[in-house]
Amino acid sequence: MPKRRQLRAFDLRQIEGVASLIGVDEAGRGALAGPVVAAAVLVTREFLEGRWALTKSGRVNDSKQIAAPEREQLWIEFEALANQGQIHAHFGLAGVEEIEQFNILGATKLAMRRALEGIYAPEDFERKTEPDLFSALEARRDFKPTVSCRILVDGLALRRFPYPHTHLVNGDARSLCIAMASVVAKVQRDRLMQELDARVPGYGFAQHKGYATEEHRAAILRLGRSPHHRDLFLRKLLAGRLDPAQMELLAETAEIEEST
C-alpha cells in the first residue's frame, strides 16, 4: 500500500468507537518572524469512506513535503469540502506579542486552542473544574466528553491544555486529518507572511516566510529588527549562540522539557 494511502487507513482505525476525528497541526513554530498558525480539521467515517478520500486523499501529506501550488490546490478542495459539509476546518493564530508573553510552546497551544474552538468549544467537554488557558484536564475515570470525537495532535502530549487529546509524533505523516490540518496551517501562514511582506518590505517575508534563511538574516543585519520579529530567537541568533538549523530544535526541546 502506498505510504500516503496509509494515512486514510490509519484514521479509519482511529475513528473506531467515535463519531469523528479532529486533526491538529501548526506552522511557523521555528520561524524568526510572524505568527504561529494552527489548524484543526474534523473528518467523519462517512468522509473517510467517501469519494474524495478514496480517490484524492493520496495527494495529502505533511505540508512541508508538498509543493506550494499543490498545497494551494488542496486548500481550494478543502474549502469546497467544508462548504459541502463533508469536513469542518478552522485555523487560529498567536501573534508575536503572545509568543513573547507565553513563549513559543505556550503560543502554539493558544493557536491550537483557537483552531479547535472554531469546531468545538471547551464547554463541549465535561469536567469538574474550569481550567485556565493552559490548565490540564486531569486523566480521571469520571471525565467524559459530551461530544463523540477524538482529537489527534501532531507532536508530543500537551500539558495544561483544555482539550483531551491523543498525541502523535510525526502525526502529519501518519494521519490524514492531521496532514490536512498541516496543509491548512501552512497555506494560511504563507498567505499572512505574503501580506506582511507588502506592509513591511525589504525583509523578504514572501520568500522565506520568516524562517532563518541567509537572506533573512542579512536583511535583519541591514535593516534591524521589525515589530514582527521574535525577540528571544532573534537575540540568540544574532549573538551567534544559535545556528539557523537549530530553530525547530529549540522549540522541540522546550516541548520535550514540558512533557517530562
Mind listing the pLDDT tens digit for each residue in 7-62? 999 999 999 999 999 999 999 998 999 999 999 999 999 999 999 999 999 999 99
CB–CB of 24/165 below 8 Å? yes
Number of other residues whose CB lies within 10 A of the CB of residue 114: 17
Is residue 202 helix, strand or coil?
Answer: coil
CB–CB of 110/94 below 8 Å? yes
Fold of 3-194: Nucleotidyltransferase; domain 5 (3.30.420)
Q: What's the whole-model pTM score? A: 0.84
Mind listing the pLDDT tens digit for each residue in 125-143? 654 333 444 433 333 334 4
Amino acid found at 25: D
Q: What cell numbers appear for 249 in the block?
A: 530544535
